[in-house]
Amino acid sequence: MKELTMFIQKTCPHCVLAQKYIAQLCRDDSRYSALPIHEIDEYVQSELADSYDYWYVPSFFIGKKKLHEGHAEYADIKNVLDAALLAD
């Protein structure tokens, strides 16, 4: 398991929804709550955000490998968290 990096914008409704799904999944499954998730506001840490390859938020990475980008449904977020659990 590696750290999951999540790029967001605080005012983005898709990011807020992704955060809500993450919180719900973490409450429902203790494996997810043990995941280290590093949330990065792309406006605050713009230099770091610019070093990753994405156009839309929310964007999820393990290392520099992109797992998902843009609008995400519940199933998409679950898939991201599952991929993070399997990452070595």
Q: What is the mean pLDDT of each run of 10 residues along the chain (88 residues)?
A: 89 96 95 92 90 94 94 96 89
What pLDDT is stored for residue 79 in this prediction? Answer: 96
What pLDDT is stored for residue 14 in this prediction? Answer: 96
Q: Is the separation of the CB atoms in 60 and 4 below 8 Å?
A: yes
Q: Where are the beta strands (DSSP E) in 4-71?
A: 4-8, 37-41, 59-62, 65-69
Whether the link from the prior residue into 58 is cis, omega within 30° of 0, is yes
What pLDDT is stored for residue 1 in this prediction? Answer: 56
The CATH number of 4-86 is 3.40.30.10
- Dihedrals phi, psi of 48, to nearest 5 degrees: -65, -45
Confidence (pTM): 0.90
What pLDDT is stored for residue 87 in this prediction? Answer: 86
Instruction: Indicate the domain borders of the chain.
Output: 4-86
What pLDDT is stored for residue 2 in this prediction? Answer: 82
